[in-house]
Structure 1
């Protein structure tokens, strides 16, 4: 008696007895014996991986099946492969891999690439970066380092510890397999660096809190990165050292009298130290100087006392000038009756400005004589 089994299109049936595969059933209807019935393993021929245990068995005992029904992708130690299905990149297969895939007609293609050339082919890079669905990212894409350099930037590329030529703006990709690849994007425009919260003792032991700003740019990026592991960190430390030297060697009074001295000292020192590394420091400036609370009170009292003393000096100077002017006027009137007469008329004019109506009897001399008598009586009282 026989038993029937149907293998659909896109499938294969693998017959086995006692764990050994001995026949492949292609699409169609097949009869199996009732007695001593074989085990049937049905697999989908859709371009997916062959299970690892089955792949090892087929490679070893059924190589002709592998040739007919499978796509074998074996990569060397310095080789990688790009697996495509219907022209769409599915996976980057790493070096030293042994993979089997069920053939689905001619839908699968393989592109082999040597990793001795660290540059990833442009078509593979574009396929890896092509936008896809959430669960459709290219497998093995972590083997590729992509570097995107924006405008006004350059890329510093290191391969196996050796700095390469600068990367221009654009997109490039490199194999991380068999290579140590590092890339850093560097802005070549003028940049600002803040050195904040620096607490420094002056020469006379006053603790100041200073915030400093600097504007800088790369003049030679390769020169900077060939000598300094982290150029920005080095510049930050040099600004700290220069600021401490400028403040720590001067008293508080010197700094308050000439605040520009900090900018001048820091700028000159940092420019000289950074020039050999291809870094230009365009300008530096102290944003603010924060004094301790008790020192603020002392300085406020000092400023108040200085301003009060200046006001007293000005007041005494004005009083002296006024007295000297009166003395000069008295000397002129003593030797000049006409000037005395004019002074009397001026006094009368000021008195008349305060009176709405006045009657004069006996002439102007009589009025002036009466005015003198009134002043005399008032003084006596």
Structure 2
């Protein structure tokens, strides 16, 4: 029985008898006499990796010439990373101990080995190639083994390798091998930053519960020093602001705090500056945004303020009444000694009375109006 197998030009095939390797078939038509029906062909795409690595190993041992002619083997040691190129285009980053086998003929494969013991920083030229993988015509596989870092302007990057701080990264792009080591970069903003300590429930010295919100500005003066002495500098600053605020409020009464809120700002500022001395952090302005009293305390204070204002109002009213009485007494003394002044006062009174009357009927002339409405003592 004659069998025909067709291998496409972008494929390679392997002839199998009862599932066992017989020979490699190139592109074209192949005819075999198979009376028992034991022959079969398995094909692979030339642009894809060879998946049957066991077959390649068998050919390397039994037929090394055929293996060298048909396959391109790429194998890395535990201390090497690999850059695989297809037709001189970077397509894959290979991890240590990785092995790939490709068919020869359709695509030109090339492997560039990188010794990981020589350093963990990728060359700038290679970094530029893999910096924007989504913009390439063909993406690069295996980038999980590379740490790409872009440090923005006005920032610094704290580089840690295996938990140890190595150096600071300036604004720009850098890449690092992650194989066989732990590489981390923490971005740090060197500009003036703001921090808020909100919702702090604190008891005053006279056992009144207050809720305070505090705001502060700060910046790094020495980034390396801050990260060498503190695991998380920002968290440490937040805690010190909390402690300073609690000490400032807990040692004063409510009346002292309400009369002078600036005392909290000054105390917390001096406290934090003293605690952060030598840690590479500078604290700028510190201020209490607001002080929130409990509901019952608000009611009590409102009543106290109302009573104080009512008392002040009574004092002012009595003072004005006394002044008015004294003024009237002085006026009376002046009129007693001066009839002309008394007559002018009478005319003024008559004018005010006339303003409140819609119509006046006069009998007896103007003298009757003056002498009849206003009687002058002793006239």
Alignment TM class, shorter chain as reference: 0.7 to 0.9
Q: Does 1:185 align with 2:183?
A: no
Q: CA deviation at 1:134?
A: 12
Determine the structure 2 residue equivalent to 1:201.
203
Determine the structure 1 residue equivalent to 2:14.
14
Q: CA deviation at 1:277?
A: 1.2
Where do 1:339-354 residues align within 5 Å? 340-353=338-351, 354=353
Determine the structure 2 residue equivalent to 1:41.
42
Determine the structure 2 residue equivalent to 1:377.
none
Q: 1:194 to 1:369 in 2, by over 3 A?
A: closer
Q: 1:255 to 1:234 in 2, by over 3 A?
A: same
Q: How far apart in 2 are the matches of 1:256 and 1:44?
A: 82
Q: 1:51 to 1:121 in 2, by over 3 A?
A: farther
Equivalent of residue 221 in structure 1, options 220, 223, 240: 223
Q: How far apart in 2 are the matches of 1:183 and 1:119?
A: 13
Where do 1:114-153 residues align within 5 Å? 114-116=115-117, 117-132=119-134, 137-153=139-155
Where do 1:1-381 residues align within 5 Å? 3-17=3-17, 20-34=20-34, 38-105=39-106, 107-116=108-117, 117-132=119-134, 137-329=139-331, 337=337, 340-353=338-351, 354-355=353-354, 359=365, 370-372=375-377
TM-score (norm 1): 0.86
Task: Between 234-243 and 121-130, report the one with greater CA deviation.
Answer: 121-130
Question: For structure 2, which runs of at least 5 residues remain unmatched after alignment?
Answer: 355-359
Map Cα deviations across residues 264-286 of structure 1 (whole Å, 9 max, x no partner): 11111112222321111111111
Task: Between 90-99 and 322-331, report the one with greater CA deviation.
Answer: 322-331
Partner SS for 2:150: strand
Task: Between 276-285 and 250-259, report the one with greater CA deviation.
Answer: 276-285
TM-score (norm 2): 0.86
Task: Between 14-23 and 245-254, report the one with greater CA deviation.
Answer: 14-23
Partner SS for 1:276: coil
Map Cα deviations across residues 213-244 of structure 1 (whole Å, 9 max, x no partner): 11111111111111111111111111100100
Root-mean-square deviation (Å): 3.0
Q: How far apart in 2 are the matches of 1:202 and 1:22?
A: 92
Q: 1:42 to 1:113 in 2, by over 3 A?
A: same
Map Cα deviations across residues 160-196 of structure 1 (whole Å, 9 max, x no partner): 2221221111111111101110111111111111111
Q: How far apart in 2 are the matches of 1:281 and 1:342?
A: 77
Partner SS for 1:184: strand
Q: How far apart in 1 are the matches of 2:342 and 2:282?
A: 77
Indicate conservation of the 8 Å contact 1:46/1:103, yes or no: no
Indicate conservation of the 8 Å contact 2:133/2:140, yes or no: no
Q: How far apart in 2 are the matches of 1:272 and 1:53?
A: 69
Map Cα deviations across residues 328-378 of structure 1 (whole Å, 9 max, x no partner): 5556666xx3xx23431331231342447794559x9x889943279xxxx
Q: 1:360 to 1:5 in 2, by over 3 A?
A: closer
Indicate conservation of the 8 Å contact 1:47/1:101, yes or no: yes
Indicate conservation of the 8 Å contact 1:66/1:72, yes or no: no
Q: 1:287 to 1:31 in 2, by over 3 A?
A: same
Q: CA deviation at 1:139?
A: 2.4
Q: 1:328 to 1:50 in 2, by over 3 A?
A: same
Q: How far apart in 1 are the matches of 2:302 and 2:223?
A: 49
Task: Between 10-19 and 108-117, report the one with greater CA deviation.
Answer: 10-19
Q: CA deviation at 1:140?
A: 1.6
Q: 1:61 to 1:345 in 2, by over 3 A?
A: farther
Q: 1:47 to 1:359 in 2, by over 3 A?
A: same
Indicate conservation of the 8 Å contact 1:84/1:108, yes or no: yes
Q: How far apart in 2 are the matches of 1:43 and 1:195?
A: 64
